[in-house]
Amino acid sequence: MSSYEAKCDRCSYKRKLYDILRSYDLGDGYKSAVTIRRQYAWCHQCQQTVSAELLEDLPSLEAELTQANGRGEEFYSGFAFGNTWEEEKIRYLDDLKQRISLRKARVAPPKCLDCGSPNIIGMPESDGDDDEGPIVQPIEHPGCGGTLTITSIGLALNRAWFFYTPEGDKIESQES
């Protein structure tokens, strides 16, 4: 998993961030877990850079489903660890269909994945590559007015897996 560093060009603010596996629990644990798509954001409650939910709009998700339906072996064989590309395509399409159902039913706005606050400023993804600079578009640092950027700093092993309700609330304990 990748690790990143958020820092401000005006004040001494710095924070390391890690990709952590986070999923929506749809009621029967691991069998119906949909991976949370995340974005980096500034959380006003935490007063720091955090991972937050990224809730795509329905037309974007439906377009992704249409594209995914049209893709074949060349695309899916790269994801098929222990599965055939056909099995991986079915899994991918099922995941997208569940994501669309979740999005249709979702009422709450995107939330901070640390504290659950919806009071966040999302940091849209950058057009650049991880190796070429910031991975997100810089934003004004709410703490001091400087420029807040996030850059890739390497790899880190993290086996944490957190679960959330479909409305984005963290489930404090998960039976394994």
Residue 21, both tokens:
């596996």
Return all residues near 108 (Cβ < 8 A) that are at least 6 apart. Answer: 118, 167, 168
Give the integer Cα–Cα distance in Å for 149 and 159: 26
Using pLDDT thresholds of 50, 70 and 90, give the confidence band for residue 29.
low
CB 173 within 8 A of CB 164: no
Give the integer Cα–Cα distance in Å for 13 and 148: 9
pLDDT at 130 over 70: no
Residue 15 Cα distances to 6, 120, 132, angstroms? 5, 17, 20
Give the integer Cα–Cα distance in Å for 22 and 41: 16
Residue 123, both tokens:
């940091």
Percentage of the residues of the chain whose pLDDT score is greater than 70:
89
Give the CA angle between residues 156, 162, 165 to the nearest 5°: 150
Residue with tokens 């009422």: 107
Using pLDDT thresholds of 50, 70 and 90, give the confidence band for residue 31.
low
Give the integer Cα–Cα distance in Å for 172 and 3: 24
pLDDT for res 134: 55
Query: Over the stretch 33-52, which tens digit does the pLDDT of each residue have?
Result: 899 999 999 999 999 999 99
Residue 37 Cα distances to 10, 55, 61, 100, 114, angstroms? 30, 7, 12, 13, 14
Using pLDDT thresholds of 50, 70 and 90, give the confidence band for residue 70.
very high
